[in-house]
Amino acid sequence: MKYYKFLQLSVLLFSGLLLSTAVTANEWQLNADASQLSFISTKKIHIAETHQFNQLSGFLDAKGQFSLDIDLATVDTHIAVRDERMKTYFFDIKQFSTAKVSAKVDLAILDSIAEGASKQMTIDATLALHGEVQPLTLNVIVTRLVGAKLSVVSVQPVILNVGDFALVAGIEKLRELANLPSISHVVPVSFYLIFNHI
């Protein structure tokens, strides 16, 4: 009888372990050091410059829920005084320190990608920025890399309009401080993300 109970307990524990493994089998953590998110600003109509954020964090869970957090305090325009102005007058990081992209991803599509192969996907997402939430359509190429990794690369830039996120006053303040005739309200955003299986 004792042996039978021990056997039952062992089967239950083993089943629980298998279930736990199945639940976490499709979880992916962003490799922040290998990832990049950049955007382009345009001033004086024809002068375009590329900037980036130096701190990202992201996760894709076993249910297909995806999130990407962007630390706005790490904006890097390669000019220190401009970085500080963007943090203070544009992003207002004291009140809105983070931007967040959220989406639901079809894990069956990810599972169908063989190692070394790529697949183009269209993902419906939302962006929470400066107290506003707006829908996004992300056109990406997903590649399954060697070593249980995924790369997710934008096929084309995501075009944001600062007016959709209550940022017009902020961009006008930047224009005044820099004594510029114009700064475009349209901002293309591109990304290269690497995820590690966990």
56-60 and 36-43 beta bridge pairing = unpaired
Q: What is the pLDDT of residue 15?
A: 47
Which residues are within 8 A (CB) of 4 and not within 5 positions of it... i.e. 6 or more apart? none
Burial 155-171 (b: 16+ CB within 10 A, else e): eeebebebebbebeebb
| DSSP 8-state symbol, 113 | P
Give the domain range for residue 131.
25-197
Helix runs in the chain, H state only: 2-24, 80-85, 107-111, 168-177
Q: What average pLDDT does the chain have?
A: 91
Tell me if 159 is assigned to some domain.
yes
Q: What is the pLDDT of residue 71?
A: 99
Tell me if 2 is assigned to some domain.
no
Q: How many helices (H) and strands (E) does the chain have?
A: 4, 12
- Quickly state the pLDDT bin for 25 (edges 50, 70, 90): low
Tell me if 20 is assigned to some domain.
no
Tell me if 4 is assigned to some domain.
no
pLDDT tens, position by position, 120-146? 999 999 999 999 999 999 999 999 999
Q: What is the pLDDT of residue 9?
A: 45
Total number of domains in the chain = 1
Angle at 46 between CA 140 and CA 76, to 5 degrees: 55
Report the CATH number at residue 130: 2.40.128.110
Q: What is the pLDDT of residue 8?
A: 55
The 3-state DSSP class for residue 26 equals coil
